[in-house]
């Protein structure tokens, strides 16, 4: 058998030098991922695999319950200037400070945030793409990776309903997440508006014209904070974003939208964008996309749909009913790492008309010269805010090719069904107050002890105590939020392996923690009850 170690390799040289000197000397050449070090890599990879397998197999609860102070002290004692003697020792340290105290999203008792369990073909893809270390910015750095990503972008555009015509061609780019995708949407919306109202102005060269002080963006008051963040980063400011009230289902109120646009026009301002949310973070509500698309068209405003969460519906049988109108968007955000069970990060920004990427592209002779474009060479950096960019598309590719789109969509649908079943459990229990029937997979509610007439402040304290208690125990992870200034608990269900029996157990644990929290607040609770008598 041919040896993996070349006779003149740094490793063999170092071994001779160490033997001669009696010391354990290290050389960076020993650790380069190259043919002469594949044996060491294989040993280390098996050690890492064993550690991960052990951690997953022994994760009997989603979190250890460790405190910030305790773990901080442990990590503070580590001297990064002095390496450990072996990779085995390093893995032991990683196990102690990370794997033992990670939060495990695959556990059926993790029902907190928009973190999904991941399918293992995508984890294998991570190994491949990290080992090769492809940068998917230019063809001469990525080769086939460029075409694989483009194929997935075309596939996703088709799922959204974007169609090519003689005037436009849909396109997109993989991104780090919904925040970056929404930033790109607002950047394109801003510069598209500039080209419309100040056609002789070149924003790329000259910065923002004075007219941008009158630009306004409309989005639901329940939309993601990244819309406001984008406006600030783009020089428009938080005040450029006008929050639109929602209806009783936590969807954007389109009548209120019309009124706010009318007021904006009367004030001499310019509506440049309307942002719809297909799956709000707290309530999973989907704004009325078709109505909003019509309003945006009438006012020549950019129509963006943030479907970071709701994109899971694209692979299901309920797309037409739930996402009707998304095909009329100018741009769309999707997060495969929320609803397609992909590892972070794996997201995309899509445009109905690829020519709008001109607001982002920049040609550099050393990177993506115009001669490449003339020759038909695809350089994805033309469409991205990033230059160096991971080949995250491989994760989705391997998942689709191994599992299939229908089966991935069924996983999201299973979580939707469980959310509706859990809503019925909470609604039928006198100790809970629910705020909404779930449209996707989130539920917002609070524990309300029926024995006492408590104030909202007391209920806030009790529900906060419930969540803190459960997190400290590590057995169950739930989320929290505020609605109208008051404290509520939240389930986010994305795990198709979580079943109704798990949710019954979680609800019972919440009630037990609620009894304990109420007893801790009992004197003030009784006092409030006496005052109301």
The answer to whether residue 473 scores a pLDDT higher than 70 is: yes
Model pLDDT, residue 19: 40
Model pLDDT, residue 364: 67
The answer to whether residue 525 scores a pLDDT higher than 70 is: no
Q: Give the sheet arrangement for strand 486-492, strand by strand.
A: 110-111, 477-483, 486-492, 442-447, 432-434
**Enclosing H/E stretch for 483:** strand 477-483
pLDDT, mean of residues 123-145: 93
Q: CB-based burial of residue 165 (10 Å sphere; 0-12 exposed, 13-18 middle, 19+ buried)?
A: exposed
pLDDT, mean of residues 299-317: 96
The answer to whether 268 and 304 are in contact (CB under 8 A) is no
pLDDT digit string, tens, across residues 8-48: 344 443 443 444 334 467 899 999 999 999 999 999 999 99
The SS3 assignment for 463 reads helix
Model pLDDT, residue 363: 65
The answer to whether 494 and 110 are in contact (CB under 8 A) is no
10-104 classified as CATH 1.20.1650.10? yes
- Overall fold of domain 135-402: 3.40.640
What does the mean pLDDT of the chain come to? 91
**Do 10-104 and 135-402 fold alike per CATH?**
no
pLDDT digit string, tens, across residues 253-284: 999 999 999 999 999 999 999 999 999 999 99
- Overall fold of domain 406-532: 3.90.1150
At residue 474, what are phi and psi to the nearest 5 degrees? 80, -5
Alpha carbon of residue 332 to chain centroid:
14
**Nearest alpha carbon to residue 489 among 519, 512, 466:** 466
The answer to whether residue 527 scores a pLDDT higher than 70 is: no
Give the pairing type, strands 347-351 and 432-434.
Answer: unpaired
- For the chain, give every domain's residue range: 10-104, 135-402, 406-532
Which tokens in the block code for residue 463? 């529900």
The answer to whether residue 526 scores a pLDDT higher than 90 is: no
Model pLDDT, residue 398: 98
Output the pTM of the full model: 0.91
The SS3 assignment for 331 reads strand
The answer to whether residue 530 scores a pLDDT higher than 50 is: no
Confidence of residue 149 (pLDDT cuts 50, 70, 90): very high
pLDDT, mean of residues 142-167: 94
Model pLDDT, residue 365: 66
Q: Which residues of 190-224 are buried (b: 16+ CB within 10 A; e: fewer)?
A: bbbbbbebeeebebeeeebeeebebbbbbbbebbb
**Enclosing H/E stretch for 348:** strand 347-351
Confidence of residue 377 (pLDDT cuts 50, 70, 90): confident
pLDDT, mean of residues 196-219: 95
Confidence of residue 195 (pLDDT cuts 50, 70, 90): very high
Model pLDDT, residue 9: 42
pLDDT digit string, tens, across residues 94-112: 999 999 999 999 999 999 9
The answer to whether residue 203 scores a pLDDT higher than 60 is: yes
Model pLDDT, residue 362: 79
The answer to whether residue 189 scores a pLDDT higher than 70 is: yes
pLDDT, mean of residues 445-469: 94
Residue 174, strand partner residues: 348
Confidence of residue 367 (pLDDT cuts 50, 70, 90): low
Residue 350, strand partner residues: 172, 332
Model pLDDT, residue 375: 73
pLDDT digit string, tens, across residues 53-96: 999 999 999 999 999 999 999 999 999 999 999 999 999 999 99
């Amino acid at each position: 058998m041919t040896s993996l170690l070349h006779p003149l390799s740094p490793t063999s040289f170092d071994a001779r030098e160490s033997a001669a000197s009696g010391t354990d000397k290290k050389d960076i050449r020993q650790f380069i991922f190259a043919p002469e070090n594949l044996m060491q890599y294989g040993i280390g990879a098996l050690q890492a695999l064993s550690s991960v397998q052990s951690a997953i197999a022994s994760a009997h609860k989603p979190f250890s319950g460790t405190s910030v102070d305790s773990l901080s002290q442990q990590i503070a004692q580590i001297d990064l200037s002095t390496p450990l003697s072996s990779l085995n020792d390093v893995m032991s340290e990683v196990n102690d400070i990370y794997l033992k105290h990670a939060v495990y999203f695959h556990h059926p008792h993790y029902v907190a945030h928009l973190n999904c369990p991941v399918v293992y073909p995508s984890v294998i893809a991570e190994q491949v793409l990290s080992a090769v270390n492809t940068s998917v910015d230019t063809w001469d750095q990525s080769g086939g990776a460029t075409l694989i990503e483009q194929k997935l972008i075309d596939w996703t555009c088709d799922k959204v309903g974007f169609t090519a015509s003689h005037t436009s061609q849909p396109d997109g780019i993989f991104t780090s997440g919904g925040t970056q995708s929404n930033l790109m949407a607002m950047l394109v919306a801003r510069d598209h508006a500039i080209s419309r109202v100040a056609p002789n102005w070149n924003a790329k060269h000259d910065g923002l014209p004075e007219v941008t002080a009158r630009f306004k963006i409309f989005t639901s008051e329940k939309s993601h904070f990244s819309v406001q963040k984008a406006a600030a980063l783009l020089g428009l400011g938080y005040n450029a974003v006008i929050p639109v009230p929602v209806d009783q289902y936590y969807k954007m109120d389109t009548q209120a939208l019309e009124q706010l646009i009318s007021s904006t026009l009367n004030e001499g301002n310019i509506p440049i964008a309307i942002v719809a949310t297909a799956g709000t973070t707290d309530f999973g509500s989907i704004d009325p996309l078709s109505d909003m698309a019509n309003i945006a068209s009438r006012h020549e405003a950019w129509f963006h749909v943030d479907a970071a969460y709701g994109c899971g519906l694209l692979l299901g049988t309920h797309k037409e009913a739930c996402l009707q109108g998304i095909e009329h968007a100018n741009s769309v955000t999707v997060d495969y790492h929320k609803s397609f069970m992909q590892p972070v990060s794996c997201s995309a920004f899509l445009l109905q008309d690829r020519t709008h990427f001109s607001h982002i592209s920049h040609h550099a002779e050393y990177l993506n010269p115009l001669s490449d474009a003339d020759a038909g060479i695809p350089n994805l950096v033309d469409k991205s805010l990033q230059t160096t960019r991971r080949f995250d598309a491989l994760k989705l590719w391997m998942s689709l090719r191994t599992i299939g789109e229908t089966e991935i969509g069924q996983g999201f649908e299973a979580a939707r069904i469980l959310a509706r079943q859990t809503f019925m459990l909470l609604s039928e229990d006198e100790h809970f107050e629910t705020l909404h029937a779930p449209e996707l997979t989130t539920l917002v509610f609070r524990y309300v002890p029926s024995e006492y007439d408590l104030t909202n402040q007391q209920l806030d304290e009790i529900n906060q105590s419930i969540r803190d208690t459960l997190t400290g125990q590590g057995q169950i992870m739930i989320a929290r939020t505020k609605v109208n200034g008051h404290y509520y608990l939240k389930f986010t269900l994305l795990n198709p392996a979580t079943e109704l029996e798990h949710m019954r157990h979680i609800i019972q644990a919440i009630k037990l923690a609620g009894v304990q929290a109420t007893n801790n607040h009992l004197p003030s609770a009784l006092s409030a009850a006496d005052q109301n008598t």
